[in-house]
Structure 1
Amino acid sequence: MSTLPDPPADIDLSETKVPELVSVFVVTWVLGVLCVGLRVFVRLVVRRNKLWWDDWLVMASLIWSGAFMFDVTCYMVPQGLGKHIWVAPADALKSYFLGLFIAEWTYTLSLVLVKCSILAFYWRIFSAEPKTRLFIYIMAGMVLSWGIAVILVTIFQCLPVNAFWMRYDLVNPMQASEYTCGVGVKEFFIGNAIPNILTDFLMILVPLPSIYRLYLPRSQKYAIMGIFVVGLFVTAVSIVRLQYVLALDLTAIDATWNWSDEMMWTGVETNVATICACLPNLKPLFNLIMFGSWNHSTVRSTNPDGTSRNGPAISLPDRKWPSSLRLNPQEHGSSKAFVTAQGKDDKRPFSVLTDNESNTWREQDSDLELMGGSLRQGGASGVVVTTQVNIHNSK
């Protein structure tokens, strides 16, 4: 590698972005670890369910985002990232491009896994609707295709592969005649970012129609939607990162300084994605903070003798629900839930179902059966049902 040119006169060689770079990476990753830990706690302890695919996938994503963080903070930063190239170690450019090579595919694996975790969560909750299932299939195909394409381009952007960093080796740099690098780094980052932003935005839209159709008070409906729409923050971070990519000057020799902001926002993107993927699963914690209990219910109370304080109670006969009305088709086991229903709607018989997911559903047949409840007369709004029900299969 040729000798570095003299630094521009207007550059302060003592300035550094290292504290900001390291603190942002570490803090956001630790927050991701905390959210994943709380998610597992809610799943295993509060709801007493087994971990499912969405839980395992987000934990795998956390591992790869951790590998990305350690690559940047423990390898690239000591080798000069966040400082001007003139005060960085002599082999800073080689170390930077080796670290960048590792960062590209660890970043991609982390995002692919967290997106797959979100889609698996959608499948577990909303897959009873055929249109939603189709959309999940399409989104999964897009995410996996994007991830495979990015990783393949990352690996083979230079031939031989190690030419991506060995061309900057101080002792024995590869000569231009010994390698081929047919992919522009800036163009690759732009082509990486745009499909990523598109899939982020589309995935936010998946649950909103299903949530909007729920028989819930409007405030609760909007609150649940808000938890999902928080994912827009990930899209916003991706757009900010893209702006830094577009502003990069690849002709400038000061790569360790110029690329540090883009690298920092890339780390923020992966860790914030992990946090947002966990938020819908932390609803019991939000209930505890806002209402003082893990499970917040809107059911009305009854007297000890079984009569309603709002009217007389009568027997509710057993009733079968077809498979198209399954509440949670991916859970297995048996369950109890508190239900409040208003009026008559055979398509959506439950107007309010509290999120007591410490229980699971048993799926051995196509039908679920609603056993023994109590029915009481309400006011002008119609018949109101408040009951504890057992939901299980019948053959």
Structure 2
Amino acid sequence: MRLPPPEVLASWPAPNYTNPQTRGRALIIVELITLPIALICLGLRLYARIHVMGRSEWDDWMMVVAAFFCIGVTTCVVLAYTRYGWDIHVWDLTFDQMVAGRQVSFAAQALFVPATLLAKVSILISYLRLASKDSWFRRMTSDPVTSYWNLMYTQRDCVSELATTMSQAITTAIADFIVWVLPMPALYRAKLPLAQRLALITLFSFGLVVVVAACIRTYWIHYVIEETYDVTWYGFQLWMWTAVEVQLGIICGCVPWLKSLVKFWRNRNVITDLTDKSNPKAGRSRFDGRRATMPKGGTVVRLDSHGTRSTNEDRRPTIDKGAAVEMEKKREQEREREMEMQMQRNRGGAEYVDLESGSGEYLDTAPQTLPPDTPGLAL
């Protein structure tokens, strides 16, 4: 924020401390919607990785740390909005509000960098699965640091706020674009059916929304710092897109991992429906709705509406448990197969198990082949 020259100060209207014009509640609504969605996506990702897939990696916990910084950014934005007038004109602020608001802004900028950095690094670490195999803190923005929020300092040595924030914003937008486009060639060349490849590319393409948010944020940084002195009024847009960029980064980094969770829930619901004895529809044929039982020989016997066997079906004796017994056998076989695959992975073998088809066969480990724990592929 620049200290306005006298002619700009003279053009401002008289301050209205009692009933100032406000921007409305759009900022607080965006913050309180996007942050819970980001945290829910993160929780589902951890559940899918730890409970469903049985393991977690560095990128998962790096995203958790990024979420903590994201919460800090959101807290600063909400605090500045509710307490320090970051939704009203700057001439309607008291001096104490202006100083406190700048302090909160300083803290938010300090938290924003690690939040976006860790989210991007987490996504880049996830991309590794697509492959075949002066002082850093001494340089401050202002000297003394307090002169950043106290504009009345007569002797202050500050780096150009426009240069530093614009360079950071442009770098972030470029990095967002690189992170978004980086896995596309590997996904396109992957030895997968075309429909599956397109589905994966679509999942990863959600990152384009983050690129758009970063570009909009870059515009508002330039406008707030260079084009206006009414930073609290127009900074409303800047803070809103800052929150959107940070939280969408976490959401987009978690979305590709949720496919395995959806498949897990879907398969569990199918098994529950077929084995639930209290469900009157359990064991019914999905084609004609008539009850079917499974005989010892394995032939399905259909019963007509009077409870007698159809004349064109095998008349061998039936058993009462029917499809439930068969499903229980399949579940046991599936558990044994999963244990064998887990033992194979623990032995450090070079082969990858085809978890998508569940066949238990080994896949070709050519550079274009995706390992089974690729985001969006693992069950």
TM band (smaller chain): 0.5 to 0.7
SS of the residue aligned with 2:267?
A: coil
Q: Which has the larger radius of gyration?
A: 2
CA distance in 1, matches of 2:368, 2:80: 57
Deviations for 1:148-188, whole angstroms, at most 9, x for unmatched residues? 97x776xx111111211123xxxxx42x22x211x222222
Match of 1:128 in 2: 132
CA distance in 2, matches of 1:93, 1:25: 22
CA distance in 1, matches of 2:201, 2:118: 23
Match of 1:310 in 2: none
The 1:16/1:212 distance shift into structure 2, 3 A limit, reads same
Q: Which amino acid aligns with 1:128?
A: S
Match of 1:243 in 2: 219
SS of the residue aligned with 1:216?
A: coil
CA distance in 1, matches of 2:368, 2:361: 7
Match of 1:264 in 2: 240
List alignment gaps of at least 5 residues for structure 1: 130-147, 168-172, 297-302, 305-319, 329-334, 359-395
Q: Which amino acid aligns with 1:180?
A: D
Q: Is the 8 A contact 1:211 1:225 kept in 2?
A: yes
CA distance in 2, matches of 1:34, 1:43: 14
Deviation at 1:245, TM superposition (A): 2.1
Task: Work out the number of aligned pairs and report it.
Answer: 294
Q: Is the 8 A contact 1:47 1:356 kept in 2?
A: no
SS of the residue aligned with 1:293?
A: helix
Deviation at 1:252, TM superposition (A): 3.9
Deviation at 1:217, TM superposition (A): 1.8
Of the three residues 80, 83, 98, the one matched with 2:88 is 83
The 1:244/1:351 distance shift into structure 2, 3 A limit, reads closer
Deviations for 1:280-299, whole angstroms, at most 9, x for unmatched residues? 1111244468xx33799xxx
SS of the residue aligned with 2:105?
A: helix
The 1:266/1:252 distance shift into structure 2, 3 A limit, reads same
CA distance in 2, matches of 1:326, 1:80: 59
CA distance in 2, matches of 1:346, 1:273: 31
Identity %: 24
CA distance in 1, matches of 2:183, 2:223: 35
Deviation at 1:57, TM superposition (A): 0.4
Of the three residues 280, 289, 293, the one matched with 2:267 is 293
Match of 1:372 in 2: none
Q: Which amino acid aligns with 2:106?
A: F
Deviations for 1:351-372, whole angstroms, at most 9, x for unmatched residues? 99797846xxxxxxxxxxxxxx
Q: Is the 8 A contact 1:128 1:326 kept in 2?
A: no
Summarize the alignment of residues 214-233 of structure 1 with structure 2, pairs less than 5 Å apart: 214-233=190-209
Of the three residues 41, 50, 58, the one matched with 1:53 is 58
Of the three residues 157, 165, 190, the one matched with 1:180 is 157
Match of 1:338 in 2: 358
Deviation at 1:27, TM superposition (A): 1.2
CA distance in 1, matches of 2:370, 2:167: 45
Match of 1:139 in 2: none
Match of 2:173 in 1: 197
Please tell me the root mean square deviation across aligned C-alpha atoms, in Å: 3.9
Q: Which amino acid aligns with 2:157?
A: T
Q: Which amino acid aligns with 1:107?
A: F
Q: Which amino acid aligns with 2:150?
A: M
SS of the residue aligned with 2:95?
A: coil
1:112 maps to 2:117: yes
Match of 2:307 in 1: none
Of the three residues 60, 67, 70, the one matched with 1:65 is 70
CA distance in 2, matches of 1:212, 1:16: 49
Deviation at 1:253, TM superposition (A): 3.6
The 1:251/1:224 distance shift into structure 2, 3 A limit, reads closer
CA distance in 1, matches of 2:138, 2:209: 28
Of the three residues 149, 153, 159, the one matched with 2:143 is 159
CA distance in 2, matches of 1:158, 1:236: 31
Question: With structure 1 as the length reference, what TM-score do the two structures score?
Answer: 0.64
The 1:7/1:35 distance shift into structure 2, 3 A limit, reads same
Of the three residues 20, 42, 52, the one matched with 2:48 is 42
Q: Is the 8 A contact 1:93 1:255 kept in 2?
A: no
Of the three residues 17, 23, 33, the one matched with 1:27 is 33
* Deviates further, 349-358 or 208-217: 349-358
Q: Which amino acid aligns with 1:35?
A: C
Q: Which amino acid aligns with 1:158?
A: S
CA distance in 2, matches of 1:324, 1:206: 28
Deviation at 1:42, TM superposition (A): 0.9
Instruction: Select the structure that is richer in strand.
Output: 1
Deviations for 1:224-248, whole angstroms, at most 9, x for unmatched residues? 1111111111001101111222333
Question: With structure 2 as the length reference, what TM-score do the two structures score?
Answer: 0.67
Q: Is the 8 A contact 1:57 1:117 kept in 2?
A: yes
Q: Is the 8 A contact 1:71 1:102 kept in 2?
A: yes
The 1:35/1:205 distance shift into structure 2, 3 A limit, reads same
The 1:198/1:326 distance shift into structure 2, 3 A limit, reads farther
Match of 1:281 in 2: 257
Q: Which amino acid aligns with 2:67?
A: L
Q: Which amino acid aligns with 1:272?
A: L
Q: Is the 8 A contact 1:76 1:99 kept in 2?
A: no
